[in-house]
Chain A
Amino acid sequence: MIEVQDLRKSFGERVALDGISFRVEKGEILGFLGPNGAGKTTTMRILTGFMPPTSGRALVAGFDVVLRPREVKRRIGYLPEHPPLYKEMTVQSYLAFVARIKGVAGKQLRSSVGSALERCGLQEVAGRLIQNLSKGFQQRVGIAQAIVHSPEVMVLDEPTVGLDPRQILKIRNLIRSFRGEKTVILSTHIIPEVEKLCDRVAIINEGRIAALDVRGRIGSTLETVERVSVQFTPLAPPFKGRLELLDGVRSVVQDDGSANRFLVEANMGSEISRRIFERAMEERWPLAEVTPLKPTLEEVFLKLTGEERGILS
């Protein structure tokens, strides 16, 4: 549905995007994660036709954003970081206006506005002026604005920024309801948001994609060691030495919390969990638990974005 090839964008001397490529399949939710100024908004602005790339190609629904901008714009709903609201209008008339300039006409207009209102839970404020609504409602009007013309693709720039936890929950449920139906790209710097909403995650840093993978698997390719947490039953004799003797083990550290838990780091590909099990069977270790440790998204994020900065400075 969306295909981006080697996208670059510079503003004068400053390079905002330094060769970004990715694909998003139909019905998928892709999350952009990255620190402020990493290039998330710029990428989105290029995809929505707000600004052209310096070089590279971006296709939305098979149409090039530079060569066929109208076809692209007709198919995209876009929520910028600051929702683009005419605050002196009522919610209803604002949505009708947006639907019209997006090309919805005649009989469809009413039903489009009606279903956008309903989907975003805005019926009870439909007749009120936007300037009198709370931030949460205004944000929802912003999302309603992005779906009013039933686009195939939605681009949401930090959709939950500045909202209270309850409002965040509502907006997330709303976005989740698009899964499978619309193709969604959303940006955020809130890590749990990505974990809860997205099918795939792209970590963007310094204008490049630092990692791109399915949500649970991201970062696994970055690891250079296998890490396992091993728990023995209480009152077991110290096994630290024996763990250290296993092939490929680099280090064994006693966990802070308990005397019988050890963190084992082993070389990549040494299948350390399996080895521990086999040895435990042979030697009848009083084993309670073996847990392979995967890096959390947070660790991956900090590692990727932190290191890059370290190199530069």
Chain B
Amino acid sequence: MRSIFTIARRELSTYFVSPLAYLILAVFLLVVGLSFCLNLIAFANECLIYGSNPYFQQQLNVNEQVVRPLFGGFVPVFLLILFPAITMRLLPEEKRQGTSELILTSPISSLQIVLGKYLGALVVSLVMLGGSLAFIGVLMKISQPDLRTVASLYLGVFLLGATFLAIGLCLSAFTDNQVLAYVMSVGVLLVLWFLSGISKSNSLNESLGDRATAFLSNLSVIEHFGDFTKGLVDTQHVAYYLSIIVFSLFVAQRVVDSHRWR
């Protein structure tokens, strides 16, 4: 356990001495902030126009119109493009610098190496999510968002991000080229994403049958995200994300280990 923390700590210090982490953090906050602003302005305008009308007033809901869409719309796609940038250097960098010879001749297991690296990346994503809590803070000043919905939303985003990171880490184990690791990760995540579109396409539905399309759409990373934004924490979705994470880390560990046996 201590070795995992040692590796994670080193990863973190590397992230935060390089401009990469700050750049990712800045871009992330910019995009989420933009999404927040647009939704908030739209909501405020609607309040101004319809606020005096008792019928429409009931329809106005800060949770529905500002909190929920904070990570809705284009934001998940943007996370899909951003998160692989966190993981792309994790394993390729070791091979390029020759430090893999140090790590692999140290008395630690390949599982500890993979978990340590994953933990480091996870903490970076937590810093990012933590930064975006500032928007919720602003919202609490001017309104009363439902904190349980906020918690569920953030659990969802955290799990989504953790899944992206696990898949990114797993694919970075296969190459010693960062660009390749990044492109592969984005590609695989996009495929996982569009599986949800398959179930909605009628022609495919007919040729593959209901079961197959249901199966495919259940594999999609985005299909499982929606309920969290509504304030619903369903174990089915948590289990989906956790199983993808465990599977990815398992594959990553096997690949790292295979370098010893080649």
Contact = CB atoms under 8 A, between A and B. Distances in A.
B99 A86 contact: yes
Is chain A's binding surface mostly helix, strand, loop or mixed?
loop
Interface string B100-134: 11111111100000000000000000000000000
B93 to A, nearest CB: 9
A48 B101 CA distance: 9
B262 interface: yes
A49 B6 contact: no
A70 B107 CA distance: 5
B98 A52 contact: no
A129 to B, nearest CB: 9
A86 B103 CA distance: 11
Contacts of B261: 51-52
Contact-size category for B: 20 to 34
Interface in B1-45: 2-3, 6-7, 9-10, 13-14, 17-18
Interface in A61-82: 69-71, 73-74, 76, 78, 80, 82
A225 interface: no
B97 A86 contact: yes
A148 to B, nearest CB: 11
Given A101-B3, A101-B108, A51 B262 contact: yes
Nearest to B5: A100
A200 B9 CA distance: 42
Contacts of A45: 101
B148 interface: no
B2 to A, nearest CB: 7
A248 to B, nearest CB: 53
B260 interface: yes
B101 A50 contact: yes
Given A50-B260, A100-B6, A105-B2, A85 B99 contact: yes
User: Which of B14, B17, B100, B102 is most buried by chain A, counting CB atoms within 10 A of its CB?
Assistant: B102
Contact of B107 (A80, A83, A102, A145): A102
Interface in A257-286: none
A118 interface: no
Interface in B71-93: none
A87 B97 contact: yes
Given A51-B262, A89-B13, A103 B107 contact: yes
B97 A78 contact: no
Contacts, number: 71
Contact-size category for A: 20 to 34
Nearest to B109: A70
A101 B105 contact: no
Contacts of A74: 107
Contacts of A197: none
Contact of B13 (A70, A73, A93): A93
Contacts of A50: 101, 104-105, 260
A100 B14 contact: no
A105 to B, nearest CB: 7
Contacts of A93: 13
Contact of A101 (B6, B14, B100): B6
Contact of B103 (A71, A89, A101, A103): A101
A80 B98 contact: yes
A84 B98 contact: yes
Contacts of B106: 73, 98, 101-102
Nearest to A51: B260
Contacts of B18: 88
A78 to B, nearest CB: 5
Nearest to B14: A88
A135 to B, nearest CB: 14
Contacts of A89: 10, 13-14
18 contacts: A48-B105, A49-B104, A50-B101, A50-B260, A51-B261, A78-B101, A78-B102, A80-B98, A82-B98, A83-B98, A84-B97, A84-B102, A84-B103, A85-B97, A97-B9, A98-B106, A101-B107, A101-B108
Interface of A: 45, 48-52, 69-71, 73-74, 76, 78, 80, 82-89, 93, 97-98, 100-103, 105, 145
Given A86-B97, A98-B102, 16 more contacts: A49-B104, A50-B101, A52-B260, A71-B107, A73-B105, A76-B105, A84-B97, A84-B102, A84-B103, A85-B97, A87-B97, A88-B18, A93-B13, A97-B9, A97-B10, A101-B3
